[in-house]
Amino acid sequence: MTKKTEYKHIILNENQIPIIEGTTLKVVEIIMAKTSYGWSPEEIHFQHPYLTMSQIHAALAYYWEHQTELDADIEERENYAEEMQKESPETPFVQRLKSQGML
């Protein structure tokens, strides 16, 4: 069950995670793209043409109003990814590169 927010294009999914209405794209994914790649709203639109500029700006506005909460979510996601990377065995490709002295 989703829940409306005061932001026109932002809803909370069943896990109370803010997503862009009509998509499965999370607000944090937009923010991570913006900060990781330095994308402007126009570049985000270019990379995600199914989003309107209004949806993108709503996601950015939602982030600025909920920055502490969403930054904590982003940090948690990054920590999880790092832990999974540490626990994962090296792929055969990486092993081959190391054996050739390329890594």
Q: What is the extent of the structural domain holding 71?
A: 3-99
Q: Quick one: average pLDDT of 6-31? A: 94
Cα 25 to chain centroid distance, Å, stands at: 8
pLDDT 10s digits, 39-72: 999 999 999 999 999 999 999 999 999 999 999 9
Indicate the number of domains in the chain.
Answer: 1
Q: Which residues, other chains included, contact 12 with Cβ-Cβ below 8 Å and sequence gap of 6+?
A: 2, 3, 5, 18, 19
Q: How confident is the model at residue 11 (pLDDT cuts 50, 70, 90)?
A: very high
Evaluate whether 10 touches 58 at the Cβ level (below 8 Å). yes
Q: The whole model's pTM is what?
A: 0.78
Closest CA to 18 of 59, 53, 54: 59
The rounded distance, in Å, linking the Cα atoms of 59 and 1 is: 20
